[in-house]
Amino acid sequence: MTEPRYDVIAIGNAIVDVMAPCEDADIERLGLARGGMSLIDTDGARDLYAAMGPAKEISGGSAANTLAGCAALGLKCHFIGQVATDQLGDVFSHDIRAAGIDFTTPAREGEPPTARCLIFVTPDGERTMNTFLGASQFLPAEALDEKAIADAAILYLEGYLWDPEEPRSAMRRAIEVARGAGRKVAFTASESFVIDRHGDDFRALIDDGLIDILFVNESELATLTGKDDFEDGVASLTDKLPVLVATRGAKGAVAVAGSDRAEVAAEPVGKVVDTTGAGDLFAAGFLSGHVRGEPLESCLKRGAVAAAEIISHYGARPEADLKALIADKVD
């Protein structure tokens, strides 16, 4: 097997977060669910975008956020995701490449436009999110860079993208390519509601030995295994996965690889500002250690430090020097 060109290649939603301040009266006038997250259609996205004041655009998407963390930690990365030929598609493409991540997926012509999450922020800091998945749901298998997949040590898949049929088929093909090249497959379950819809698929992937590294949080573990007790849930998967990583928020995280088990506490944070992206960056920190062959405990510590950085500010992309933080607290 040849030395891989990339450390991690990821497939996920290509989303741009559009954040703008507003008044409480604006939330009421627009009929939004204050403090919640709602899915919206094309017309709703256009209407809300037109109603926004001056906005800040920050690229997002779960797997893309993880790669941003990986790249910041020195890994060679490639992203596969679908944008449209529009302004926000250009923003996402620019941002991910500026982070040092290869991105070659051709933009999609016509409707729907690039995925975006329109976020209205009231004076008290409350965020009201309205998500339009748009073009990200239409990633075809033909758009996969199979050479790049075969040339990456780890293929990282985002559970959110398993819902639409077209990208689900693309990810199944990507698993075949990675497996055929002797590479590892990592999978993040993303959310319990995704497992509710596709748990049978995920359990089949695990039972068939197609997942090497599984990332879940405590509630996702319970939904996936049907075990309310955390330790029972971990035990039910230990023999089925080469590596299981389960995060527990303020209670830290656990990783199990065969007979090897490690636990770490959550990294202290002065003030939790925004928990968006905590799991994404935990995965980035863990993978940055895993590809270097570090022990489980070291990988977990890297994940905890990266997650602590991301929840200390708004947005799901790192702002501080992750390398320096990890060098100070882990290395």
**CA–CA separation, 71 vs 74, rounded Å?**
5
Mean pLDDT of 303-322: 81
Mean pLDDT of 120-130: 78
- Please, where are the H alpha helices in the chain? 24-30, 42-51, 62-72, 87-98, 146-150, 165-180, 192-207, 218-225, 230-238, 278-290, 296-310, 322-329
| Amino acid occupying residue 75 | L
Mean of the per-residue pLDDT values of the chain: 90
Residue 295: C-alpha distances to residues 30, 243, 249, 257 (Å): 51, 12, 21, 10
Backbone angles phi, psi at 80, to 5 degrees: -120, 120
What torsion do the CA atoms of 227, 228, 230, 236 make, to the nearest 10 degrees?
-10
| Amino acid occupying residue 166 | E
**What residues contact residue 31 under an 8 Å CB cut-off, 6+ apart?**
none
- pLDDT-based confidence at 117, cuts 50/70/90? confident
**CA–CA separation, 49 vs 17, rounded Å?**
11
Model confidence pLDDT, tens digit, residues 187-231: 999 888 889 989 999 999 999 999 999 999 999 999 999 999 999
Nearest to 321 by CA among 149, 69, 134, 87: 69
**CA–CA separation, 301 vs 160, rounded Å?**
26
> Does the structure show a pLDDT above 90 at 243?
yes
> Does the structure show a pLDDT above 70 at 3?
yes
Note the Cα 63 to chain centre separation in Å. Answer: 3
> Does the structure show a pLDDT above 80 at 289?
yes
Share of the chain above pLDDT 70, in %: 97
pLDDT for 320 equals: 77
pLDDT for 134 equals: 93
- pLDDT-based confidence at 331, cuts 50/70/90? low
| 112: preceding bond cis by omega (within 30 degrees) | yes
Percent of the chain that is helix, strand, coil (3-state, to 5): 45, 20, 35
- Please, where are the H alpha helices in 271-318? 278-290, 296-310
Model confidence pLDDT, tens digit, residues 10-65: 999 999 988 888 888 999 999 988 877 778 888 898 899 899 988 888 888 889 99
Strand 127-132 relative to strand 115-121: parallel, antiparallel, unpaired?
A: antiparallel
Strand partners, 84: 108
pLDDT for 214 equals: 97
Q: What CATH class is the domain 6-12+61-104+137-330?
A: alpha beta
- pLDDT-based confidence at 127, cuts 50/70/90? confident
pLDDT for 274 equals: 65
Determine whether 299 is exposed, middle or buried from the number of CB atoms within 10 Å of its CB (0-12, 13-18, 19+): buried
Determine whether 6 is exposed, middle or buried from the number of CB atoms within 10 Å of its CB (0-12, 13-18, 19+): buried
Q: Is the pTM of this model over 0.85?
A: yes
